[in-house]
Structure 1
Amino acid sequence: MKKLMMKMLFILSTLTLINGCSQNNTNNNSDKMDKQKEMNTSQTKDSQKTTLPPKIDPIQEQLKKMTLNEKIGQMIIAGFDGTTVNTNTQTLINKYKLGGLILYQTNVKDAPQLVNLTNNIKATNSKNKIPLFISVDQEGGRVNRMPSSIKNTPSARIIGNTNDEKYAFNIGKVIATELQAFGFNTDFAPVLDIQSNPNNAVIGDRSFGSNSSLVSKLGVSMMKGIGSGKIIPVVKHFPGHGDTSVDSHLELPLVKNDLTRLKKVELVPFNNAFKNHADMVMVAHILVQKIDPNYPASMSKTIITNLLRNQYGFGGVVISDDMTMGAIVKHYKLKDAAVRAVNAGSDIILVGHGMENVATVYNSIYSAVTNHTISEDTINKSVYRILTLKHKYHINNNKVSPVNVNNLNYQLTTTISNTTTTNIAKSKLLLNIATKAKDGSILNSDFHLKSTTIDEVRKIWGKEDKCEFVDTAKGTYCTYSKKNVVVAYNKGQQLFEIRSYNPSLKTLTKEDIKKYFGSPKSDVKTSNKEEIISYTVGTHTLKFVFSTRTQILSLDHYSIYNSVLTKNNMAS
């Protein structure tokens, strides 16, 4: 019995051992299979990674399809004559396939014409692969290319006087609004030059001021404002046109400052603009003798490549100032200047005037590439930057609708007036006018009606520029131009009217005056194309005279007047 029991236990143990071994083998096989699956999965993933197609650069692909002629065309922005798309304009677009056009005041007649012009330019270019830069110098102030029916924006100097970054941004944005409305996409503004030379008339009030920090702050704010309105801002004139006394439109200005000084003053606003992602910069026709004594900045590799590109790290589009300006054509052959500018690092050559000049620049660059004076790699890099910028701003050939002048002017007026600083300045100005009026006097004059004679005026101010008897007013009007004042006296030599032509009056609108003084006693339009609103102040009449020669009312002057004094009370 014991033997039988022992045999059974042995058999059971053997079966258990066999089963355990079998289970272990199964587990091992399962582990091997799992590992094999993991390896296969990993290999599949690796295989998928390596077979993904490379990322395509659409700009590079577009560039590859372009001919050399098309590439060179993209590197030119040209001006043209006339207010319509004529045969010459069609040739510029269709034959040379230019990168863009620039419009000047001579191309603009009125609002409907300007819309038709830009729309027709786009229509003419529609067969070309690449849309045009449609550009303009719209700085505000005296550099204004808009139709006369459109309210102008203030000059950079007026903006600078506010020292208000938000205001500068808003002015930039509203400039973009008007340019968009008329079909533009590029603005050669803002000016980042510092007015460090008081004899510099070509820059003058186009500069925000004489302080590098202020120009830097407000200039970049305006640049951002323009860009926010989907217009390409072009900062200018690198490396700084402020410390010159010669107009580069006429001659080549010399700058005697060294690089250390430039970096501390003139280059500060540009450096700030580059840090804030400026897209395009215009290089000036100025000879910076201590950096490059041989060539102006617009043709200098030392300035464009070494300084602008390498030291300041600017990777955007570089455009020359107009190559038909006196600074260039009086000293260099245009064909040589264009080639040298490209080799120096310019991406775009601006040819403001003359179709024959466009042909010269185009042909000279083409010849320079074919004879290896300019490398095709240089051309490709420039065109790549140009195409990238056009893609960034979604430049297209879409037409714009007719402009509602009233709506646009409302936006402009609202923006121009919408600043605390400006409103405070206006309030102070109006308060000063009102206070002086009560005493029978005006701004920038201490003379009073009733108590002052013309002899007393002459004793203090000297002889007037001119005098004229006005029969309807029954008195003689004498002009003191330097004082911005006209005084009128009766036969008894007593003053009965004093007029102020103070420049600060230009900031006041009819609405400003009504808001401050209330409803006028009278509001009349004259045959002299004037609108006069009048108020009674004590025993005097306060008159504001607006010019109606344009669609926008402009305050010409104001006066304090006393009709009683027109009678010859003091005559013998």
Structure 2
Amino acid sequence: MTRAGTRAGLLSLTAGAAVCAVIVAAVQTPAPARPPAETPSATAPRAAVSPESPATTEAPTGPACADLAAGLSERDQLAQLLMVGVNPADETNAIEVVRDDHVGGIFVGGSATRLLSGSRLNPVHAASKHPLLVAVDDEGGRVQRIDDLDGDLPSARELAATSTPEQVRALGADRGRKLKDRGVTINLAPVADLSDGPAGEVIGDRSYSPDPAVATRYAGAFADGLAESGVLPVLKHFPGHGRAEGDSHEGLVRTPALAELKRSDLLPYANLLPRGAPAVMLGHLDVPGLTRGEAASVSPAAYRLLREDYGFDGVAMTDDLGAMRAITDRYGLPDAVLAALTAGADIALWSGHDAPGPVLTRLQKAKASGELPADRVAEALDRVLRLRTGCR
């Protein structure tokens, strides 16, 4: 989501060969309705099962999602679907956004580390009625977030070349524990894209491999490690950014045709999604044969592909809607968020510090007019509350 070559980051997941069954289970544990001031939100997946074990899914316990949703005003229901960028150098900004606008998630980007140190995220969590999603980009290599605080993480390409999947899982678990200790609940990683391009390209060494089987094993391993530590992983960038022409930070980019993606770039998703991946990020990618010149992140066809062809019922979220020209050249932020949610996104993300008020007002008007269908809001809200609270 932030420009390749900076240290703000993006995302990745585990398991076997491209044609075998693979295992990743990321089932969240119930979280308290309001975390105590001393402890970050307990929103977290249970430890993922190993590639050798059969996938298991335990029924969540806790309150009913419908009851939680009914206790929210219409505006607050819409706010749960937003992941808002906050100032990483100013905890006051984060507290105000959560307390006053009741958003479901915040994104901590940029280079400053103040908000991630000194337990400064604790009062941010405490300002939320329900467990809060606090996201960072911490892939490793060029895209990481806590390297200045907790040490450097190698790039995906380097890890695949020098480590076993088991070692990468252990590394992901260690990194996840460090993130969780700082109050982070969701890591926008691992990258599941396929690429053998030069390291410094937009994906480049952020990809584990151009081989779908290798990428599946290593992305899955890192995701399993995060889940084991209690941090939610996010697979990205569906349906595959690795072989796209160009950088979506600079404009809309085109991938190979859908039929070709299904033979290669989409194989990691085909392997990993059935095993319980909690969240997937859709990229700003024009896919011939699918999106008709629109970005996948705002394309109903892309969300149908994810849900119907790949059987995914977890949370679908967008790449950055506020700072990438593939979107900003075509939409203002309120309309971009509306387009994404209407298309099928459950969480709309932006990295800048734009106040959510104008976005929420636009969404309320769209819902009142029917432009944003009520059942689409209810569907997204149910998925987001399940991810955050363990409701049923």
Q: TM-score, normalised by structure 2?
A: 0.79
Corresponding residue number in structure 2 for 1:340: 339
Corresponding residue number in structure 2 for 1:114: 117
Alpha-carbon spacing, 1:376–1:182, altered in 2? closer, same or farther (3 Å): same
- Structure 2 residues not aligned, in runs of 5+: 1-60
Query: How far has the Cα of 1:333 moved from its partner?
Result: 3.0
1:243-254 equivalence runs, <5 A: 243-254=243-254
1:84 equivalent in alignment to 2:83: no
Alpha-carbon spacing, 1:169–1:392, altered in 2? closer, same or farther (3 Å): farther
Q: Which letter maps to 1:74?
A: Q
1:133 equivalent in alignment to 2:139: no
SS state at 1:106 partner = coil
Q: Over residues 501-528 of structure 1, what are the superposed CA-to-partner deviations in whole Å (9 max), with x where a residue is unaligned?
A: xxxxxxxxxxxxxxxxxxxxxxxxxxxx
Q: Using the alignment, how far apart are the partners of 1:145 and 1:383 within structure 2?
A: 28
Query: How far has the Cα of 1:389 moved from its partner?
Result: 0.9
The answer to whether the Cα contact below 8 Å between 1:317 and 1:386 also exists between their aligned partners in 2 is: yes
Q: Using the alignment, how far apart are the partners of 1:328 and 1:200 within structure 2?
A: 23
Query: How far has the Cα of 1:220 moved from its partner?
Result: 1.0
Q: Using the alignment, how far apart are the partners of 2:132 and 2:209 within structure 1?
A: 33
Corresponding residue number in structure 2 for 1:277: 276
The answer to whether the Cα contact below 8 Å between 1:292 and 1:300 also exists between their aligned partners in 2 is: yes
Q: Using the alignment, how far apart are the partners of 1:181 and 1:121 within structure 2?
A: 14
1:356-371 equivalence runs, <5 A: 356=355, 358-371=356-369
Alpha-carbon spacing, 1:199–1:243, altered in 2? closer, same or farther (3 Å): farther
- Structure 1 residues not aligned, in runs of 5+: 1-54, 394-572
The answer to whether the Cα contact below 8 Å between 1:192 and 1:269 also exists between their aligned partners in 2 is: yes
| Greater relative CO, 1 or 2 (CA 8 Å, sep 6+) | 2
The answer to whether the Cα contact below 8 Å between 2:147 and 2:153 also exists between their aligned partners in 1 is: no
The answer to whether the Cα contact below 8 Å between 1:165 and 1:221 also exists between their aligned partners in 2 is: yes
Structure with the larger helix share = 1
The answer to whether the Cα contact below 8 Å between 1:200 and 1:242 also exists between their aligned partners in 2 is: no
Q: Which letter maps to 2:75?
A: N
Q: Using the alignment, how far apart are the partners of 2:118 and 2:186 within structure 1?
A: 15
Alpha-carbon spacing, 1:60–1:226, altered in 2? closer, same or farther (3 Å): same
Q: Over residues 114-168 of structure 1, what are the superposed CA-to-partner deviations in whole Å (9 max), with x where a residue is unaligned?
A: 2332123123x1xx42121011001112212115242112111111113622112
The answer to whether the Cα contact below 8 Å between 1:100 and 1:135 also exists between their aligned partners in 2 is: yes
SS state at 1:115 partner = coil
Q: Over residues 249-286 of structure 1, what are the superposed CA-to-partner deviations in whole Å (9 max), with x where a residue is unaligned?
A: 2221112x222211111101111120221000000011
Query: How far has the Cα of 1:81 moved from its partner?
Result: 2.1
Alpha-carbon spacing, 1:197–1:290, altered in 2? closer, same or farther (3 Å): farther
Query: How far has the Cα of 1:321 moved from its partner?
Result: 0.5
The answer to whether the Cα contact below 8 Å between 2:212 and 2:268 also exists between their aligned partners in 1 is: yes
Q: Over residues 369-421 of structure 1, what are the superposed CA-to-partner deviations in whole Å (9 max), with x where a residue is unaligned?
A: 1111112121111111111111239xxxxxxxxxxxxxxxxxxxxxxxxxxxx
SS state at 2:150 partner = coil
SS state at 1:340 partner = helix
Q: Using the alignment, how far apart are the partners of 1:150 and 1:163 within structure 2?
A: 20
Corresponding residue number in structure 2 for 1:186: 186
Q: Which letter maps to 1:92?
A: V
Query: How far has the Cα of 1:239 moved from its partner?
Result: 0.4
Corresponding residue number in structure 1 for 2:70: 64
Asked which structure has the greater CA Rg, the reply is 1
Q: Which letter maps to 1:93?
A: V
Runs of 4 or more, structure 1, over 6 Å off, are: none
SS state at 2:306 partner = helix
Q: Over residues 417-468 of structure 1, what are the superposed CA-to-partner deviations in whole Å (9 max), with x where a residue is unaligned?
A: xxxxxxxxxxxxxxxxxxxxxxxxxxxxxxxxxxxxxxxxxxxxxxxxxxxx
Q: Using the alignment, how far apart are the partners of 1:206 and 1:392 within structure 2?
A: 31
Corresponding residue number in structure 2 for 1:327: 326
Alpha-carbon spacing, 1:109–1:300, altered in 2? closer, same or farther (3 Å): same
Q: Using the alignment, how far apart are the partners of 1:73 and 1:152 within structure 2?
A: 34
The answer to whether the Cα contact below 8 Å between 1:197 and 1:244 also exists between their aligned partners in 2 is: no
SS state at 2:101 partner = coil
* Corresponding residue to 1:314 among 290, 293, 312: 312
Query: How far has the Cα of 1:198 moved from its partner?
Result: 4.6
Corresponding residue number in structure 2 for 1:93: 98
Corresponding residue number in structure 2 for 1:376: 374
Q: Which letter maps to 2:372?
A: I
SS state at 2:236 partner = strand
Query: How far has the Cα of 1:175 moved from its partner?
Result: 1.4
Q: Using the alignment, how far apart are the partners of 1:159 and 1:197 within structure 2?
A: 16
Q: Using the alignment, how far apart are the partners of 1:385 and 1:346 within structure 2?
A: 10
Q: Using the alignment, how far apart are the partners of 1:196 and 1:301 within structure 2?
A: 30
Alpha-carbon spacing, 1:224–1:179, altered in 2? closer, same or farther (3 Å): same
The answer to whether the Cα contact below 8 Å between 1:200 and 1:244 also exists between their aligned partners in 2 is: no
1:372-411 equivalence runs, <5 A: 372-392=370-390
Q: Using the alignment, how far apart are the partners of 1:288 and 1:196 within structure 2?
A: 20
The answer to whether the Cα contact below 8 Å between 2:109 and 2:145 also exists between their aligned partners in 1 is: yes
Q: Over residues 152-189 of structure 1, what are the superposed CA-to-partner deviations in whole Å (9 max), with x where a residue is unaligned?
A: 12111111113622112112111111101111111000
SS state at 1:141 partner = coil
The answer to whether the Cα contact below 8 Å between 1:163 and 1:218 also exists between their aligned partners in 2 is: no
Alpha-carbon spacing, 1:332–1:84, altered in 2? closer, same or farther (3 Å): closer
Corresponding residue number in structure 2 for 1:299: 298
Query: How far has the Cα of 1:318 moved from its partner?
Result: 0.6
Q: TM-score, normalised by structure 1?
A: 0.55
Deviates more, 1:371-380 or 1:229-238: 371-380
Q: Which letter maps to 1:327?
A: A
SS state at 2:91 partner = coil
Structure with the larger strand share = 1
Q: Which letter maps to 1:313?
A: G
The answer to whether the Cα contact below 8 Å between 1:84 and 1:117 also exists between their aligned partners in 2 is: no
Q: Using the alignment, how far apart are the partners of 1:237 and 1:288 within structure 2?
A: 13
Deviates more, 1:373-382 or 1:56-65: 56-65
Alpha-carbon spacing, 1:69–1:59, altered in 2? closer, same or farther (3 Å): same
Query: How far has the Cα of 1:338 moved from its partner?
Result: 1.6
The answer to whether the Cα contact below 8 Å between 2:269 and 2:310 also exists between their aligned partners in 1 is: no
Corresponding residue number in structure 1 for 2:241: 241
The answer to whether the Cα contact below 8 Å between 2:83 and 2:103 also exists between their aligned partners in 1 is: yes
Q: Which letter maps to 2:207?
A: S
SS state at 2:316 partner = strand
SS state at 1:131 partner = coil
Query: How far has the Cα of 1:342 moved from its partner?
Result: 0.9
- Number of aligned residue pairs: 330
The answer to whether the Cα contact below 8 Å between 1:197 and 1:245 also exists between their aligned partners in 2 is: no
Alpha-carbon spacing, 1:147–1:114, altered in 2? closer, same or farther (3 Å): farther
Corresponding residue number in structure 2 for 1:228: 228
